[in-house]
Amino acid sequence: MNDNQLLRYSRHILLDELGIEGQQRLLSAHALVIGAGGLGSPVALYLGTAGVGRITLVDNDTVDLTNLQRQIAHDMSRIDQAKAASAAQSINEINPEVSVVALQERADAQRLDALVAAADVVVDCCDNFATRHAVNAACVKHGKPLVSGAAIGFDGQISVYDTRQAESPCYACIFPPDAAFEEVRCATMGVLAPLVGIIGSMQAAEAIKLLTGAGSSLAGRLQMLDARAMEWTEIRTPRSADCSVCASRNS
């Protein structure tokens, strides 16, 4: 690290759990962020400010006025601009040393196969089950840790799915692909603005911990927040022996 980096990241370096070695791991790391909206905004900004050396942002949407209530990576000047490019600009305005690749596209299974393989950690900030399952399948295939978050209304959830650990479930162990989950969107249900900031910030923290080896991750634990009462509930999530995605890989 040069003198400017030592100064920029000094508050990380002062942490015993990180130090110079941990910060160097961040500088050498590659994070893949799926979605640059409500959750993706704080994830992208915090990974960028933390000094993650390369960040790939994937989002096929553009900035809309209704997004600005909660999607803090964007502003009025970016309306109609691609969200991935807008978030990349925000990162670079804070930390120009970070290499950001902005992809305005939908992350389908074929594309994810290549993107996930090249990443050190994957952060899922999308808003639909189909993409979540495609991201999870690619992470299981390539043995990459996945930080998954969701937020709608006043309810949020976060967990880490890391099948490098024998007992850790994948996303499909907890939310099977063939299960009938009701899919709701912010456009119809609404979402409390700071809720995505809470969950997204936690996703960024989990990604940083995974990249540096600091602390212990949320693998095997699903945390759920009821922001009406600001109460957290945690449940243990074991790996499913008959999971259609990860069972054969981990057997």
Helix, coil or strand: residue 160: strand
Q: Reply yes or no on whether 139 is catalytic.
A: no
Is residue 32 within 8 Å of residue 203, measured between CB atoms? Answer: no
Q: Give the pLDDT confidence of 131-155 residue by residue, as tens digits.
A: 999 999 999 999 999 999 999 999 9
- Strands 221-226 and 231-236 turn out to be antiparallel
Average pLDDT score over residue span 37-56: 98
| Separation between Cα atoms, residue 44 and residue 20, nearest integer Å | 22
* Per-residue pLDDT, 148: 98
Q: Give the pLDDT confidence of 142-192 residue by residue, as tens digits.
A: 999 999 999 999 999 999 999 999 899 999 999 998 876 666 666 678 999
Domains, the chain, with CATH or none:
3-250 (3.40.50.720)
* Per-residue pLDDT, 217: 97
Alpha helices, DSSP H only, in the chain? 3-8, 10-13, 19-27, 40-50, 83-94, 109-117, 129-142, 171-174, 186-189, 193-212, 247-250
Question: Per the residue annotation, which of 126, 170, 186, 246 is the catalytic one?
Answer: 186
Q: In 3D, which of 101, 55, 65 has the Cα closest to residue 207?
A: 55
Q: Give the pLDDT confidence of 188-243 residue by residue, as tens digits.
A: 789 999 999 999 999 999 999 999 999 999 999 999 999 999 999 999 999 999 99
| Separation between Cα atoms, residue 58 and residue 74, nearest integer Å | 15
Q: In 3D, which of 211, 192, 189 has the Cα closest to residue 200?
A: 192
Helices (H), strands (E): how many in the chain? 11, 8
Q: In 3D, which of 57, 88, 74 has the Cα closest to residue 196?
A: 74
* Per-residue pLDDT, 248: 75
Q: Give the pLDDT confidence of 11-36 residue by residue, as tens digits.
A: 999 999 999 999 999 999 999 999 99
Residues 6+ apart with CB under 8 A from 62: 80, 81, 82, 83
* Per-residue pLDDT, 180: 62
